[in-house]
Amino acid sequence: MHLTFLGTSAGTPSLQRNVTAIGLTLSHRGDCWLFDCGEATQHQFMRSMLKPGRLQRIFITHLHGDHIFGLPGLLTSRSMGSISEPLTLYGPPGLRAFVETTLSLSGSFVTYPLEVIEIEAGVIFDDGVMKVTAYPLNHVMPCFGFRIEQYDRLGYLNSEKLKADNVPRGPWLQQLKQGKSVTLEDGRTIHGRDYLGPSTPGKKLAIFGDTAPAECGLALAAEVDVMVHEATLESALEEKANMRGHSTTVQTATLARDARARRLIATHFSSRYRFEDMPRLLAECQAIFPATELARDLAVFEI
């Protein structure tokens, strides 16, 4: 898996950064999910390796414009590109009205199956491979963060041990691969766990929406491989940041440390900061949590 940051600015775009959108690529085929869809996200798609036809799900943290104003354009361009694959949107109450109203008033439509799911806190997606849990954050309007967990992958079948135990080939091998028990034609009952190699732990990510320090922050980010969190303002502007429902560099890094995250990627920087300011912001984070990186537009991070 890898993350592609399509926009890393807060509130408004700048000449150096677009507003928020993050792509999560799930497989070698390029299947992806999108987290938020700020203005001009579809332009950023064209500058990246992401493909709209591989987009399966969009998770919206909240309904501020810098997180959703790119959604109508992306949805309709997908139809104009003759993409027929279904798409599911997840987000706070009001998302369905936003989508339906903008499409209706602009005389637009989509030609593929589109489902809009308005969410509450808790598990919002689970297909047995990936699970997504929504957590309420501390912003000036309803806003969520998403914990994305990949289930552990079972180890490979030990063919040498199967051969040594005279286990013949057959449809039961698929069940053994899943760790299940099977009864063979000779009456023996064998257990998949006895023939599987070590499982591979699944990856865990936390992608926060806009937020001041929140009660659920530790649970959302607990021991994740990657934590993505806003760092809208520098530490000296803490009061201003928190009053507007945002966090500072130091607050973000402190959460990553306390949650025992393995890695922090900070994003959503105020447009007041230019590229030459970023080493200073990075230093504030790394003084507390050394494994910090700063996102930039079109940067790709392997997970």
Q: Is 211 left (phi over 0), alpha (psi -120 to 50) or beta?
A: beta
The rounded Cα 10 to chain-centroid distance in angstroms is 18
Place of tokens 């299947």: 31
The rounded Cα 263 to chain-centroid distance in angstroms is 14
- Confirm or deny that 67 is annotated as ligand binding: yes
The DSSP-derived string for 188-202 is: -EEEGGGTB-PPBPP
* Both structure tokens of 79: 């139809």
- CA 208, 209, 213, 215 torsion: positive or negative? negative
- Confirm or deny that 225 is annotated as ligand binding: no
Which of 18, 282, 268 minimizes the C-alpha distance to 145? 268
Catalytic residue list contains 194: no
**Residues 130 and 151 sit within 8 Å (Cβ to Cβ):** yes
- Confirm or deny that 43 is annotated as ligand binding: no
Residue 106: exposure state from Cβ atoms within 10 A (0-12, 13-18, ≥19): exposed
- Of 36, 66, 127, 277, which is the active-site residue? 66
- Confirm or deny that 2 is annotated as ligand binding: no
The residues that are catalytic are 66
Question: Binding site for Zn(2+): which residues?
Answer: 62, 64, 66-67, 139, 210, 268
| Residue list, annotated binding site | 62, 64, 66-67, 139, 210, 268
